[in-house]
Amino acid sequence: MTARCLTRLPALLLRYAAAVPSGTTAAATAACAAVGTQQRAASTLSSVIAHEAGKTNLQGYLPHAFIVNNVQVEGPILCLPDTWLLWDVQTFADINPQTLAILDLLDPPPEVLVVGCGAKMQPLPQQLNDYLRARNIAVESLDTRNALSYFNFMNDEGRMVVGALLPAGVGAAPSSDSS
C-alpha cells in the first residue's frame, strides 16, 4: 500500500503543474523539477520498501516494550523472520515447551531459537533444552539487549530464526523510589 501511494505522488504533482497559470513559468519549472525529484525519491523508497517487505526488524527496547518495524509493542513477543506475535508469558519461569508450541507448527522449522531472558542472561531449564534438542533447534539464551541484536543479525542473513523475547525490565532490580 505504501509503495502504491508513493508512486502516485508524481502524478499528483504533474496535475498541480498543469494547473499552474501559463504566466508563472518559474512556478511551473519548479513544479516540474519537484516532480522529477519526487519521482526519483519515490522510486528509491519503493525499492527499499519492496526489499524489506515482510522482514521483522527489532529496532529497540524499553523496560516493558519493544520497537518492532516502527511500532511500539508492550510486553513479551515471539518474533519470526517475517512477522511477530504477542507472547503470553510474564516471567522467565513461564517459558516452557507449551509456551513455545508454535515452534512445532513452523515449516520450515527454525534453525535457532533466541531467548531474550530480560535484564540478565539465565540458563534454560533442562526440560526446555531437551524439547529443543529433540527438534534439532539450536538455542541462544541471552539478555534481551543482546538477543535483539543476535535476532536481527541472523534474520538479515536469511536464517530461519525465532526470537522469544521478554522485555528488558523483566528480572531487573526494582527501582528504589523513596518519595
Query: 54: which DSSP letter?
Result: T
Classify domain 58-165 at the CATH superfamily level. MTH938-like (3.40.1230.10)
Residue 110: what pLDDT? 96
Of residues 94 and 171, more confidently modeled: 94
Which position has the grid cell 533442562? 126
CA gap 124, 128 in Å, rounded: 7
CB 97 within 8 A of CB 129: no
Q: Would strands 112-116 and 161-165 be described as parallel, antiparallel, or unpaired?
A: parallel
Mean pLDDT across the stretch 108-132?
Answer: 95
Range in 34-43, 61-70, 92-101, 106-115 the model is least confident about: 34-43
Average pLDDT for residues 70-95, to the nearest whole number? 94
Contact 124, 149 (CB under 8 A): no
pLDDT at 1: 38
Report the predicted TM-score, pTM, of the whole model to 2 decimal places: 0.68
Domain ranges for the chain, please list them. Answer: 2-52, 58-165
The yes-or-no verdict on residue 54 having pLDDT over 60 is yes
Higher pLDDT, 176 or 16: 176
Residue type for position 132: L
Q: Which residue in this structure is represented by grid cell 521483522?
A: 56
**Is the pLDDT higher at 37 or at 125?**
125
pLDDT tens readout for residues 146-163: 999 999 999 999 999 999
Residue 173: its pLDDT value, please? 55
DSSP 120: S
pLDDT at 170 (0 to 100): 82
